[in-house]
């Protein structure tokens, strides 16, 4: 095992040397995008020429046109539909929520707290791109589709019913739409809830009596899943598209937004594989991409390319190591704390993610990004992730564990052995495993590294087939539901089976206030408790890159949006001469 560890370190050191030798540019990017470090929401800005075309690569495909459904709730569908979808709003790269200017005249307003009642004011002229205005029926359609209630939609497979199942009624009066929630709804993130998806009048025109017949409602959802949208509420409308391959957008002349669209055409095109994207970009076949992974080799190639800019930063997911509380040995919280204490996270980062993002920081909070106004470091004070072998051993010895001949035995005399699981295609996770293996060898624990075929990660997690596992969660500025999803007893995503009544009570409190600041305080209390439970050890916000032709302006990455760089597609343009 030590030999593996040494080999991994040697391999990465070689990569670093190669990078140092070949690198010609600044590893934080050049000119326009370089400013993203200090001005994430305003970097690479510039005046736009009238006209122009952009081809943007997506590194994954999609097989549906309906984001409501289980199969449609992923980042690639979201990117493919970014030009037309009726989002309530978008978080910008600074985490600030910007209301959709093409649909709403103002931000949603909380008009009553008990029950929670929210009023939306539609913008004058907000429409579906086919001459039909957006109205109350469209709000009701979205509610039914995401209600999870078979009396409203019989056969719908909504990916998320958290909000839809809590709606009591929706009424409309002209441009004012009022959504009344059930008594049980108390989310501090009420203003961010999605309230629209597809046009009700299109469903009716297709012969679906969605409002009165739950089966028709499900059939309408299926229709939207299979059919390329002919409607649009955004700055662009689809000219041509093929699921999983491409979407060609042209400006939507009926868009009610104030931002002037200058581009004549935007094409989203699937290009599989990071290497293929970089080559196509260098060859001028595409103008940019913001793929979900980045490697040291990619950075090297981008550094030497002419006419391209790139920037690397923490992306929309975060890496962490979770422990299985149902495993033979890790059910003991003291052993879990000792394991986390013996792992040297800074060393892991230096030998993995730091090769692509030199300014990367260790993540100190599960729910809030470093730099967030709500961020508090709950980890440093505990010693978790410091690689402090002495501290870890003293914890164990106090509890009756014994280290003899380099082997750790539990109080019953059993030799402590663990496995570490990771997705086989993720090189950084493999190296992390080898480093963890070396760290835990210092406290006498033998760790077996076991890779997981990529398609089986969900199965391994769901079945709890691990002692330690390295995987990622999506991160966005929304946090209220996350604590419940990750750690609440019985949650389908609490893969390590943590069950802590005290933590459950804290999580319930997070969901019990309408004040966002108060919810954040309570969420931090939950984070502190989960750190005490030594259940999940955050590593970093996974680095991603945006790479663009230097002829483009107003194109930048956005970790806070599922659409990444396309979050502000209306502002995209070709630089004016």
* Closest CB to other proteins among residues 401, 422: 422
* Closest CB to other proteins among residues 445, 457: 457
* Closest CB to other proteins among residues 382, 485: 485
Q: Which of residues 187-226 bind other proteins (CB under 8 A)?
A: 222, 225-226
24 is a contact residue toward other proteins (CB under 8 A): no
Task: Give the 3-state secondary structure of residue 13.
Answer: helix
**Least spacing, CB of residue 149 vs other proteins, in Å:** 9
Only one of the segments 276-284, 287-295, 395-403, 538-546 lies at the binding site for other proteins (rule: CB under 8 A); that segment is 276-284
Q: Which of residues 443-502 bind other proteins (CB under 8 A)?
A: 453-459, 461-462, 472-474, 476, 478, 481-482, 484-485, 491-493
Among 28, 45, 73, 451, binds other proteins (CB under 8 A): 73
> Is the CB of residue 511 less than 8 Å from the CB of residue 283?
no
Structure tokens at 490: 């019985």
65 is a contact residue toward other proteins (CB under 8 A): yes
Q: Which of residues 233-262 bind other proteins (CB under 8 A)?
A: 240, 242-246, 248
Among 52, 72, 251, 543, binds other proteins (CB under 8 A): 72
74 is a contact residue toward other proteins (CB under 8 A): yes
69 is a contact residue toward other proteins (CB under 8 A): yes
2 is a contact residue toward other proteins (CB under 8 A): no
**Least spacing, CB of residue 407 vs other proteins, in Å:** 35
449-454 long-range contacts, Cβ below 8 Å, gap at least 24?
449/4, 449/419, 449/420, 449/422, 450/419, 450/420, 450/421, 451/421, 451/422, 451/423, 451/424, 452/421, 452/422, 452/423, 452/424, 453/423, 453/424, 454/423, 454/424, 454/425
Count of chain residues binding other proteins (CB under 8 A): 73
**Least spacing, CB of residue 118 vs other proteins, in Å:** 19
Structure tokens at 549: 């032709």
* Closest CB to other proteins among residues 157, 350: 157
553 is a contact residue toward other proteins (CB under 8 A): no
Those residues with Cβ within 8 angstroms of residue 49's Cβ, 6 or more apart along the chain or in another chain: 262, 573, 574, 575, 576, 577
Q: Which of residues 94-153 bind other proteins (CB under 8 A)?
A: 148, 150
| Sign, Cα dihedral of 189, 190, 191, 193 | positive
486-492 long-range contacts, Cβ below 8 Å, gap at least 24?
486/366, 486/530, 486/536, 487/526, 487/530, 487/535, 487/536, 492/462
Cβ atoms within 10 Å of 421's Cβ, excluding its own: 24
* Closest CB to other proteins among residues 299, 438: 299
307 is a contact residue toward other proteins (CB under 8 A): no
Structure tokens at 527: 């984070």
Q: Which of residues 501-530 bind other proteins (CB under 8 A)?
A: none
282 is a contact residue toward other proteins (CB under 8 A): yes
284 is a contact residue toward other proteins (CB under 8 A): yes
End-to-end CA distance of the chain: 59
Cβ atoms within 10 Å of 227's Cβ, excluding its own: 14
Among 30, 45, 160, 213, binds other proteins (CB under 8 A): 160
Going by C-alpha positions, the residue among 258, 209, 199 that lies closest to residue 231 is 199
> Is the CB of residue 30 less than 8 Å from the CB of residue 37?
no
Angle at 378 between CA 377 and CA 382, to 5 degrees: 125
* Closest CB to other proteins among residues 249, 329: 249
Structure tokens at 444: 């006498």
Among 437, 562, 563, 565, binds other proteins (CB under 8 A): 562
Q: How far apart are CA 85 and CA 66, in angstroms?
A: 10
304 is a contact residue toward other proteins (CB under 8 A): no
71 is a contact residue toward other proteins (CB under 8 A): yes
264 is a contact residue toward other proteins (CB under 8 A): no
- Kind and range of the H or E run holding 56: strand 53-58
**Least spacing, CB of residue 334 vs other proteins, in Å:** 30
64 is a contact residue toward other proteins (CB under 8 A): yes
């Amino acid at each position: 095992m030590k030999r593996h560890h040494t080999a991994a370190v040697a391999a990465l050191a070689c990569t670093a040397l190669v990078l140092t030798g070949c690198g010609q540019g600044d590893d934080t990017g050049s000119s326009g995008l370089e400013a993203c470090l200090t001005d994430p929401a305003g970097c690479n800005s510039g005046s736009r020429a009238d006209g122009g075309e952009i081809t943007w690569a997506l590194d994954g495909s999609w097989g549906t046109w309906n984001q409501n459904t289980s199969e449609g709730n992923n980042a690639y569908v979201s990117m493919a539909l970014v030009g037309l979808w009726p989002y309530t709003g978008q978080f910008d790269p600074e985490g600030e929520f910007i209301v959709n200017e093409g649909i709403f005249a103002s931000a949603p307003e909380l008009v009553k707290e008990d029950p929670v009642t929210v009023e939306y004011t539609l913008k004058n002229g907000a429409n579906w791109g086919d001459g039909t205005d957006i109205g109350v029926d469209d709000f009701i359609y979205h509610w039914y589709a995401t209600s999870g209630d078979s009396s409203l939609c019989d056969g719908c497979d909504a990916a998320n019913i958290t909000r839809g199942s809590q709606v009591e009624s929706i009424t409309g009066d002209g441009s004012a739409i009022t959504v009344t929630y059930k008594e049980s709804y108390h989310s501090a993130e009420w203003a961010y809830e999605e309230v629209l998806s597809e046009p009700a009048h299109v469903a009716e025109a297709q012969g679906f009596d969605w409002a009165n017949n739950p089966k028709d409602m499900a059939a309408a959802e299926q229709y939207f899943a299979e059919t390329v949208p002919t409607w649009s509420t955004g700055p662009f409308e689809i000219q041509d598209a093929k699921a999983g391959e491409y979407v060609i957008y042209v400006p939507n002349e009926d868009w009610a937004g104030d931002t002037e669209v200058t581009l004549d055409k935007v094409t989203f095109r699937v290009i599989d594989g990071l290497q293929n994207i970089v080559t196509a970009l260098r060859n001028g076949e595409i103008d940019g991409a913001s793929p979900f992974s980045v490697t040291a080799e990619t950075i090297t190639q981008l550094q030497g390319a002419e006419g391209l800019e790139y920037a690397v930063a923490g992306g929309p997911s975060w890496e962490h190591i979770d422990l299985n509380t149902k495993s033979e040995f890790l059910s003991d919280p003291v052993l879990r704390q000792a394991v986390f204490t013996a792992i040297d996270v800074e060393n892991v980062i230096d030998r993995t993610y730091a090769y692509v993002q030199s300014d990367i920081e260790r993540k100190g909070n599960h729910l809030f990004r470093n730099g967030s106004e709500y961020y508090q470091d709950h980890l440093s004070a505990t010693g978790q992730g410091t690689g402090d072998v002495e501290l870890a051993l003293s914890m164990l010895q106090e509890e009756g564990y014994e280290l003899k001949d380099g082997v750790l035995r539990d109080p019953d005399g059993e030799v402590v052995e663990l496995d570490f699981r990771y997705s086989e295609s993720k090189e950084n996770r493999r190296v992390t495993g080898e480093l963890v293996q070396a760290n835990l060898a210092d406290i006498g624990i033998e760790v077996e590294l076991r890779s997981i075929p990529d398609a089986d990660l969900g199965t391994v997690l769901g079945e709890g087939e691990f002692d330690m596992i390295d995987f990622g969660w999506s991160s966005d500025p929304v946090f209220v539901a996350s604590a419940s999803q990750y750690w609440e007893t019985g949650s389908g995503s609490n893969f390590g089976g943590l069950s802590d009544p005290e933590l459950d009570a804290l999580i319930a409190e997070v969901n019990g206030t309408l004040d966002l600041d108060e919810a954040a305080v309570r969420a931090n209390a939950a984070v502190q408790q989960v750190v005490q439970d030594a259940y999940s050890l955050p590593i970093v916000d996974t680095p991603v890159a945006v790479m663009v032709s230097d002829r483009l302006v107003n194109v930048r990455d956005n970790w806070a949006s599922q659409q990444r760089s396309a979050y502000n597609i209306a502002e995209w343009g070709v630089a004016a001469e």
